[in-house]
Amino acid sequence: MKESKKSPHSEEVSSYIEKLEPRLAEIAETIRNIILSLDNEIAEHIKWNSLSFYYSGTMKDFDAKEYKRDIAVLNLHNRIMLVLPTGARITEGLDLLEGNFKDTRKVINFKDLDDVLAKAPKLKTILKNWLNTIEK
What is the C-alpha separation between 71 and 53, in angstroms, rounded? Answer: 5
Q: Could you report the per-residue pLDDT of 62-97, keeping only the tens digit for each?
A: 666 555 678 999 999 889 999 998 877 777 777 898
Fold annotation for 10-132: Aspartate Aminotransferase, domain 1 (3.90.1150)
State the maximum Cα–Cα separation within the chain, in Å, rounded to a whole number. Answer: 40
Q: Give domain limits for the chain.
A: 10-132
Residue type, 71: I
pTM, rounded to two decimals: 0.87
Which tens digits make up the pLDDT trace of 29-62? 999 999 999 999 999 999 989 999 998 887 777 6
**Which residues, including other chains, have CB under 8 Å from residue 54's CB and lie 6 or more apart?**
42, 43, 44, 45, 47, 69, 70, 71
